[in-house]
Each structure stands twice: as structure tokens, then as C-alpha cells.
Amino acid sequence: MKYLLILSAFALFLVSCGQDSTSSEAEDDIQVTEESENGEMEGDGIHYGERIDEEGVIGYSELMVQLEEQDSVFAKIIAEVDDVCQKKGCWMNVYAPGKEESERLFVQFYDYAFFMPLDLQGEVVLEGVAYRDVTSVEELQHYAEDAGESEEAIAAITEPEEQLKFMATGVKILK
């Protein structure tokens, strides 16, 4: 899938190179931006993975209620970025917009097909599957290392942890 996305982006690039630069249609086409290596800019934000819009978005609190009743929920939510993997952007933590005290959602990207910018901040729309899972000590230590935590902080992780997770098929960074 990763190679399909790369080939699609390359094909869009080739097509846009052949268009008349004065054409208004060319301005409406998706273009890869310098802001990110694998995000595509549209009028409503920068898209990673599958293109998504805000139609059908549920609130963070509604997602929590659904997860109390079900093991997993396919959902589309708006969230605020807390932090991003500092190694290559392969995961991020998000929370309810404007509510830093809300439970964090650990987000990974389906099939490892796309990554987030390391300096990502602000609100995003996520589409995918939310679920609760127990994360092993080894994984927690790995994620802490990716986040740039100190050796002491990493060594202090000695118990597995139940986490709220989200496997995203698409992410849209809102403007």
C-alpha cells in the first residue's frame, strides 16, 4: 500500500507538470506540498492516508461512551495533537479538543502507510478504528524512547498499561 501511495503521488505530479499553469483547474487539483513528505494539500487541510472530510464526525465523549459498550468502534473524530513520535512520525497521542485533561488516544497509522510531521500541532480529523488494548512494558519503553524520554523515565516503566488506541486509515490536519 505504501508503494501504491508513492506511485499515486508521483502520477499526480506528472499529470500536474503537463497542465497549463494558468488553468484554474490546476489550482483545484491535489498537490504535494513542501510542508510534509507524504501529505497532500487540499482546500480544507493536509491529508494523509485515505481522503477524509468532517461529515459524520462524532465527539470525543461520544467515542468514549461507545467504547464502554463495544470492544472497538469505527469512528471519525476531531482531536488535538499532544505529541508525535520524534523518530519518524509513526504514531501520535491526541486528546479532546480544548480539554488537555481528557484521556489520551494513542494513534497509529494503518499498514504503516503514512507518517505525521514531527512538529505537528493543532487539530486533526482521524478516521479509523478505536479500541482498548493492553500495551506491554517493552512497547511502552519503545514508545517512550521514540518520544525522547530520559533513560530514567524509560527504566521506570515496569508495568503493562491499558490504553485507548486508534488505528487511523486517514488523517486530515485542519488549517
Q: Is the pTM of this model over 0.85?
A: no
Average pLDDT, the chain: 80
Q: How are the residues of the chain apportioned to helix, strand and coil, as percentages rounded to the nearest 5? A: 30, 35, 40
CB 107 within 8 A of CB 91: yes
8: nearest Cα among 53, 49, 36, 44: 49
pLDDT of 65 > 70? The answer is yes
Q: Summarize pLDDT for 68-81 with one digit per residue, the tens.
A: 999 999 999 999 99
Would you state the pLDDT for residue 175? 76
Would you state the pLDDT for residue 101? 86
CB 126 within 8 A of CB 79: yes
Q: Summarize pLDDT for 7-49 with one digit per residue, the tens.
A: 333 333 233 333 333 333 322 322 333 334 567 776 678 999 9
Helical (H) or strand (E) element with 158: none
Give residues with Cβ within 8 angstroms of 151, minimum separation 6. none
First to last CA, the chain: 27
Domain regions of the chain by residue span: 1-32, 43-173
CATH of domain 43-173: 2.40.50
